[in-house]
């Protein structure tokens, strides 16, 4: 079948003035428009994602053979550090909040912009500055500590560019804080008439919960990395036991940030999925208030469980018990969400468009990731699988199977709004299925590997594990195809896609009542919300 | 908050109270009170902090939202401390 | 005072009160993050004070209590004067505002001066951690740990105070150039919040580091 590449002729002079109209590089670099800043983030995180993905690919290729023939052990350590740092701080954390949140949040609440547009631009510059420092550190050799920077290895013994790497993360942390602050104030102060708290879209709720975490947890990471770097530079004890410090204090402080940060990497995804499920079932979200409060509950409970990363450190057993029980509690609001999504699907007018495929994939993979999370929260079982591939598979099911699928789903859902063009539906569906299959082939074998005892972060392994690693690497290749396809057809659609019109999906909400792409100030006049969100004809 | 109550300047009495509390904290710290000493010093200082936030930072005359923001900071600090100390306090316990 | 042009509201806001409340809430959220930032340091202090009480009490008794107390008093006074300056600004009393801001500025510099003197003294006595650290007595390592935390905490506090001084200096300059205007109250109020917050942190740094020592 030959595809005729023909631009759908839309004379630019015919399209009404919108946020993309103004041209020139400076109109982008000095923009304070939340929509343009969202796109700036989109371009940047795709770049970081690509680099992180290349690192992952090299690791997977290396693990094809038991002896690890591709790279040396030292290089392998730097690869997984690079992969972790880039994917966590420069892709996952900003992915949905800073791209889709930035673009959609003001529109969803009927505002002209975020509360502090200049601060918003500053966040992007800080983000890029942090990214630049990290990339510089990578170019001159990188760090080999893992993304967790555990002391005293990082602060005393590591022979790599730990301080630079941590500085990059430190700077990008301020970007997170400012974004979170902006979202919180915007959600409180900028809602249009009729947009009450219980008329808010669930995407806004989840971004609000995410922002709470960003604002309250990130500063603790900042001071922790600062102390670690100071210990390294100044060569005095803060965490180093040889100098009187306690390395567990570092872990407490680090995980006080990093466990909640895990929820930064899933909560916004849950918000997107709530939107998708409602739009493609043409139904009100079942138990709206429960889903909304579950977001807040996850954000708060997420702060009470960090010690489960330290079960096999010398943390006291009693603390371990406490953290284990609290960890089980987080499963409750998460399960509420999954139950409510499935209940929303029931008797819905289902349409299996691309975003919906991603959303359904999300539910399944998130459930699998969540269930294995419960296994890891159990003190006894964790002793067995701690620091094995079981953990790696678990959090990739949440991070990639959850967040990345939700990001792709949200991007497809709002793509017509962002660009004013439709993407090719058929190939997009294929890409969604390929991603799902590739993902499972990559990470499911890792559950087995971990359960059989393969530790994470090793660049070589005994021969009996090889078959699983081969499966995993094969899956990673397929997953790569699943990522490359959207990159191609989404770019293609920017020029050749059919014009979308204001509401291609027949969905409800402020964003579908304004033109695509939206005008510079979103609304000609401040809208009023007259009905609850997702007011689809209830069946 | 543009209403008149929020426009009152910080009172000299509050300032005087803060200074007295500072004096009290210093005096407590020099007295042989045993374990009570640390407690009293920290209480006097916390009282100073409270007046600083409530009176000088005008939280007293602000909306609930500002109370919430200030309270959230304190609450989360409490979480950080209490859960970290579940570890340190129980490390020496034996079965 | 020159009569000001129309009251300025940023384009994303509907009116001045929305802008005011947003700015104020934004500042409070920011202060909550600052509290968590210092919270990490306070936690480190608490954990080590709990683990090594003897060494920490011994070390604390080497700090200059008089300088610390005077400094606390200086900061409390500066905070009080700044809040008076905000009232004066609201009432449009330019000279009084300038005077109060000026004294606040002076007190802030005085604080840094006293702190600098303390640092110098401690360095001279060999309490600066690192190769030059010099302490005769048991538990050398944990005494040094105390001073590591002391220098980091007070240093970061001083950095925040320095930024606050910059903010006050800018206000001083702007008010001197007849910047007094209705829609700018919120800016100086927010500056005040920051200054009070820096004082708030010191209110806890002082007792923890200076007062909980063993006495002499």
The answer to whether the CB of A38 falls within 8 A of the CB of A102 is: yes
Task: Tabulate helix, strand, coil % of chain A (nearest 5).
Answer: 70, 0, 30
- Spatial distance between the Cα atoms of A412 and A418, rounded to a whole number of angstroms: 10
Residue C2 reports pLDDT greater than 80? no
User: How many angstroms separate the CA of residue C216 from the nearest CA in chain A?
Assistant: 25
User: How many angstroms separate the CA of residue B60 from the nearest CA in chain C?
Assistant: 13
Residue B4 reports pLDDT greater than 60? no
At A305, phi and psi to the nearest 5? -125, 10
Tokens linked to A531 = 């009905």
The answer to whether the CB of C168 falls within 8 A of the CB of C195 is: yes
- Is C40 in Cβ contact with A224 (below 8 Å)? yes
Taking residue A263's Cβ as centre, other Cβ atoms within 10 Å add up to: 26
| B60 vs A131 pLDDT, higher one | A131
- Is B73 in Cβ contact with A188 (below 8 Å)? no
Candidates B73, B80, B87; nearest CB to A319: B87
Q: How confident is the model at residue B58 (pLDDT cuts 50, 70, 90)?
A: confident
Element (H, E) at A372: helix A354-377
Q: Tell me: the pLDDT tens digits for B8-32?
A: 666 889 999 999 999 999 999 988 8
- Is C22 in Cβ contact with A115 (below 8 Å)? yes
Q: Which 29-48 residues of chain C touch chain B by CB within 8 A? A: 29, 31-33, 35-36, 39-40, 42-43, 46-47
Q: Tell me: the pLDDT tens digits for A76-122?
A: 999 999 999 999 999 999 999 999 999 999 999 999 999 999 999 99
In the prediction, which pLDDT does A1 show? 36
In the prediction, which pLDDT does C1 show? 35
Burial of A492 (0-12, 13-18, 19+ CB in 10 A): middle
Reported as half-sphere exposure (CB side, CA atoms, 13 A), residue A372 has a value of: 25
In the prediction, which pLDDT does B9 show? 63
| C54 vs C7 pLDDT, higher one | C54
Q: Name the residue in chain C with its Cα closest to that of A217.
A: C36
Q: How confident is the model at residue B94 (pLDDT cuts 50, 70, 90)?
A: confident
Residue with tokens 């807040």: A296
* DSSP string for A292-321: HHHHHHHHHHGGG-GGGG-TTTT--HHHHH
Q: Tell me: the pLDDT tens digits for A434-466?
A: 999 999 999 999 999 999 999 999 999 999 999
Q: Model pTM?
A: 0.94
Tokens linked to A346 = 């029931």
Q: Name the residue in chain A with its Cα closest to that of C139.
A: A244
Given a cut of 50, the residues of chain A with pLDDT beneath it are 1-5, 13
Q: Is the peptide bond before A137 cis (omega within 30 degrees of 0)?
A: no
Q: Name the residue in chain A with its Cα closest to that of B76.
A: A216
Give the number of residues written for chain B: 95
Give the chains touching A; criterion: ≥3 Cβ pairs < 8 Å: B, C
User: How many angstroms separate the CA of residue C30 from the nearest CA in chain A?
Assistant: 7
- Spatial distance between the Cα atoms of C161 and C24, rounded to a whole number of angstroms: 20
Rounded to the nearest 10 degrees, the angle between the axes of helix A202-234 and helix C16-51 is 40
Confirm or reject contact between B91 and chain A (CB < 8 A): yes
User: How many angstroms separate the CA of residue B82 from the nearest CA in chain A?
Assistant: 10
Contacts of C18 in chain A (CB under 8 A): 189-190
Residue C3 reports pLDDT greater than 50? no
* DSSP string for chain C: -PPP-SPP--TT-SSHHHHHHHHHHHHHHHHHHHHHHHHHHHHHHHHHHHH-HHHHHHHHTTS-HHHHHHHHHHHHHHHHHHHHHHHHHHTT-HHHHHHHHHHHHHHHHHHHHHHHHHHHHHHHTT-SSSTT----SS-HHHHHHHHHHHHHHHHHHHHHHHHHHHHHHHHHHHHHTT---GGGHHHHHHHHHHHHHHHHHHHHHHIIIIITS---
- Is A235 in Cβ contact with C130 (below 8 Å)? yes
Taking residue A69's Cβ as centre, other Cβ atoms within 10 Å add up to: 13
Burial of A208 (0-12, 13-18, 19+ CB in 10 A): buried
Is ipTM over 0.95?
no
């Amino acid at each position: 079948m030959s595809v005729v590449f023909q631009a759908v002729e839309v004379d630019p002079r015919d399209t009404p003035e919108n946020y993309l109209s103004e041209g020139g590089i400076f109109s982008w670099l000095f923009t304070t428009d939340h929509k343009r800043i969202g796109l700036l983030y989109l371009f940047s995180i795709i770049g970081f994602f690509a680099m992180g993905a290349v690192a992952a690919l090299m690791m997977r290729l290396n693990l094809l053979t038991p002896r690890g023939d591709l790279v040396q052990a030292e290089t392998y350590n730097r690869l997984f550090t690079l992969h972790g740092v880039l994917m966590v701080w420069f892709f996952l954390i900003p992915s949905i909040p800073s791209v889709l949140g930035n673009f959609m949040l003001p529109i969803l609440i009927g505002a002209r912009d975020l509360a502090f547009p200049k601060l918003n631009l500053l966040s992007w510059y800080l983000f890029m500055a942090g990214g630049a420092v990290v990339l510089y550190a990578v170019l001159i050799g990188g760090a080999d500590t893992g993304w967790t920077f555990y002391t005293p290895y990082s602060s005393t013994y590591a022979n790599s560019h730990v301080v630079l790497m941590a500085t990059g993360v430190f700077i990008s942390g301020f970007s997170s804080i400012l974004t979170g602050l902006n979202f919180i104030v915007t959600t409180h102060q900028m809602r249009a008439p009729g947009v009450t708290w219980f008329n808010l879209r669930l995407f806004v709720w989840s971004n609000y919960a995410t922002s709470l975490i960003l604002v309250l947890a990130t500063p603790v990471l900042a001071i922790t990395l600062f102390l670690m770097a100071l210990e390294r530079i100044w060569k005095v004890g803060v965490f180093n036991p040889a100098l009187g410090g306690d390395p567990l204090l570092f872990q407490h402080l680090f995980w006080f940030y990093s466990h909640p940060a895990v929820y930064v990497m899933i909560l916004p995804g849950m918000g997107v999925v709530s939107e998708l499920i409602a739009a493609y079932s043409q139904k009100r979200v079942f138990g709206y208030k429960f889903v909304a409060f579950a977001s807040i509950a996850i954000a708060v409970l997420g702060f009470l469980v960090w010690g489960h990363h330290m079960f096999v450190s010398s943390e006291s057993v009693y603390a371990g018990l406490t953290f284990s029980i609290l960890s089980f509690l987080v499963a409750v609001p998460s399960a509420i969400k999954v139950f409510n999504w499935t209940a929303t699907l029931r008797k819905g007018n289902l349409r299996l468009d691309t975003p919906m495929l991603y959303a359904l994939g999300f539910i399944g993979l998130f459930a699998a990731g969540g269930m294995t999370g419960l296994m890891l929260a159990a003190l006894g079982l964790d002793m067995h699988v701690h620091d094995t591939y079981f953990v790696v598979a678990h959090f990739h099911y949440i991070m990639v199977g959850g967040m990345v699928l939700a990001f792709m789903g949200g991007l497809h859902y709002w793509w017509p709004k962002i660009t004013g063009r439709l993407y090719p539906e058929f190939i997009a569906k294929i890409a969604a299925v390929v991603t799902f299959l590739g993902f499972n082939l990559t990470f499911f074998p890792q559950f087995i590997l971990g359960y059989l005892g393969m530790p994470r972060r090793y660049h070589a392994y005994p021969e009996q594990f090889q078959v699983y690693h081969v499966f995993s690497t094969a899956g990673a290749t397929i997953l790569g195809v699943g990522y490359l396809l959207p990159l191609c057809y989404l770019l293609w659609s920017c020029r050749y896609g059919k014009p979308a019109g204001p509401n291609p999906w027949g969905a409800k909400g402020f964003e579908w009542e304004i033109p695509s792409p939206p005008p510079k100030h979103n609304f000609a006049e401040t809208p009023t919300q007259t009905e609850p969100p997702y007011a689809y004809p209830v069946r | 908050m543009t209403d008149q109550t929020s426009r009152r300047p910080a009172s000299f009495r509050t300032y005087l109270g803060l200074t007295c509390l500072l004096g009290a904290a210093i005096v407590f710290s020099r007295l042989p009170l045993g374990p009570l000493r640390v407690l009293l010093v920290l209480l006097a200082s916390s009282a100073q902090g409270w007046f600083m936030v409530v009176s000088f930072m005008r939280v007293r005359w602000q909306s609930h939202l500002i109370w919430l923001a200030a309270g959230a900071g304190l609450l989360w600090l409490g979480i950080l401390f209490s859960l970290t100390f579940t570890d340190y306090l129980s490390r020496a316990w034996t079965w | 005072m020159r009569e000001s042009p129309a009251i300025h509201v940023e384009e994303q806001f509907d009116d001045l009160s929305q802008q005011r409340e947003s700015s104020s809430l934004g500042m409070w959220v920011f202060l909550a993050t600052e509290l968590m930032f210092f919270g990490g340091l306070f936690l480190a202090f608490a954990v080590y004070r709990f683990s090594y009480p003897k060494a920490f009490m011994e070390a604390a008794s080497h700090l200059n209590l008089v300088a610390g107390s005077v400094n606390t008093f200086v900061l409390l006074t500066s905070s009080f004067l700044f809040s008076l300056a905000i009232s004066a600004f609201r009432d449009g009393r330019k000279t009084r505002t300038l005077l109060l801001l000026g004294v606040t500025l002076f007190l802030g510099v005085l604080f840094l001066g006293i702190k600098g003197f303390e640092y110098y003294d401690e360095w001279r006595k060999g309490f600066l951690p690192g190769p030059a650290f010099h302490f005769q007595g048991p538990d050398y390592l944990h005494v040094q740990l105390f001073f590591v935390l002391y220098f980091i905490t007070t240093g970061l506090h001083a950095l925040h105070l320095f930024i606050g001084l910059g903010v006050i200096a800018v206000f001083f300059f702007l008010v001197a150039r007849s910047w007094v205007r209705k829609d700018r109250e919120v800016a100086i109020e927010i500056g005040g919040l920051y200054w009070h917050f820096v004082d708030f942190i010191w209110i806890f740094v002082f007792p923890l580091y200076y007062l909980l020592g063993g006495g002499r």
